[in-house]
Amino acid sequence: MPATVLVLVETINDYLPILEHQGFHLILAPTPNERAAAIARHGDRIDAVLTRGPLGLYAEEISALPALKIICVIGAGYEHVDLHAAADRGITVTNGAGVNASSVADHAMAMLLSLVRDIPRCDAAVRRGEWPKIMRPSLAGKRLGILGLGAVGMAIAKRASNGFDMTICYHNRQNRKDVPYDFCSTPTELARASDFLIVATPGGVGTRHLINRQVLDALGPSGFIVNIARASVVVTADLISALEQRRIAGAALDVFDAEPRVPDALKSLANVILTPHVAGLSPEATQGTVEMVGRNLVAFFSGEPVLTPVNLPSDLSSAVL
């Protein structure tokens, strides 16, 4: 009998035939109402759940799925998946770390370029029939700080170093000996050493509010910050205050605390660029993430080790920023 997969993700429909061709039976529930109804109606026969970090899977939902054996998370982040509840039940959790790294890194660099060169304001001016000569900094030769040097952080570093001749420094839970970049022991030290700061670390308890007023003040009035990771890494109130008071030069944000709601204060600021959590969305990345889910599901239901297991609470302390 084919395994039944509850699909909570709303952006992958074009690629779901990959899973169907592998023999999995899919139940699609991309809205909160459909999700609750599917769990209530089909909970006793759902073997697997496909979700993403912001959508998660909560303890009460896990308890309502007695047949659940594996949770597959698209993308690297799994901050709203209750790992303790999964561990208590012996449920395997996987993610898609690294699969969409190129797409996220492309978006990060696009946001950085747009922010530093003030592309949106130039575009709006030309559309109004104006022709302003706006003087903006160059990226070449600048110092880029990366918070979190995983697959995404590495992809950003390569683009910035090789393509823009930027000097790279980073903060990570661990000092990586396999990279040619300078390690900073704290986020504050990283910000102080940076002209531009990109947040590329997973969300979750271990990275919550790493970027606060102290870090933003260390970045300084000429500094720019880009967040393509998780909003929880940044204290939003501190960021808004720094932007309003021009204690930093600008911010580009793809992630927010209560998506899809975005604080009006951010929308009103001219030194902010906003995108709707789309950094990881590209045809290539989406196909790759669904293929990774398929490989994990096939391995699991064949009795083989999954390819990208998530550490459950007993060994979360070994996770890398």
Catalytic: 277?
yes
Q: How far is Cα of residue 217 from the mean position of the Cα atoms in its chain?
A: 24
**How confident is the model at residue 97, as a pLDDT?**
84
Tokens of 89: 């039940």
307 pLDDT higher than 90: yes
State whether residue 232 is helix, strand or coil.
helix
209 is annotated as an active-site residue? no
Q: Mind listing the domains of the chain with CATH numbers?
A: 4-99+283-318 (3.40.50.720), 101-274 (3.40.50.720)
Predicted local confidence at residue 317, as pLDDT = 41
Residue 118 CB partners (closer than 8 Å, separation 6+): 134, 136
| Residue 87 amino acid letter | A
The mean of the pLDDT values for the chain is 95
**Tokens 């580009």 identify what position?**
252
**Banded pLDDT at 114 (limits 50, 70, 90):** very high
Tens digits of residue pLDDT in 179-214: 999 999 999 999 999 999 999 998 888 899 999 999
The one catalytic residue in 230, 244, 284, 295 is 230
Tokens of 94: 């996987």
| pLDDT of the residue at 75 | 85
Provide DSSP, 125-165: HHHTT----------TT-EEEEE--SHHHHHHHHIIIIIH-
Tens of pLDDT, residues 36-83:
999 999 999 999 999 999 899 999 999 999 999 999 999 888 989 999
Residue 162 class from Cβ within 10 Å (0-12 exposed, 13-18 middle, 19+ buried)? exposed
**DSSP-assigned beta bridge partners for residue 145:** 169, 197
Confidence of residue 238 (pLDDT cuts 50, 70, 90): very high
Q: Which of 89, 117, 121, 277 is catalytic?
A: 277
Give yes or no: 259 in active site. yes
Question: Coil, strand or helix: which one is 112?
Answer: helix
Q: Which two tokens stand for residue 317?
A: 């302390």
pTM of the model: 0.91
Label residue 319 by pLDDT band (50, 70, 90).
very low
Rounded CA-CA distance 208/230 in Å is 9
- C-alpha to C-alpha distance for 115 and 250, rounded to whole angstroms: 7
Least confident stretch, 15-19, 204-208, 268-272: 204-208
Task: Specify the pLDDT at position 76.
Answer: 84
pLDDT confidence of residue 318: 41
Least confident of 190-199, 224-233, 307-316: 307-316
- Name 321's Cβ contacts closer than 8 Å, sequence gap at least 6: 147, 148, 149, 150, 171, 172, 173, 174, 201, 202, 206, 207
Query: Residues 10, 20, 60, 259: which is the catalytic one?
Result: 259
Confidence label for 219 from pLDDT (cuts 50, 70 and 90):
very high
pLDDT score at 289:
94
153: how many CB neighbours lie within 10 A of its CB?
Answer: 29
Strand partners, 309: 94
The span from the CA of 278 to the CA of 320, in Å, is: 24
Query: Cα–Cα distance between 39 and 61 in angstroms, integer?
Result: 7
Averaged pLDDT, 71-99: 94
Give CA–CA dist 263/27, Å, rounded: 34
In Å, the largest CA–CA distance within the chain is: 67
pLDDT of residue 1: 63
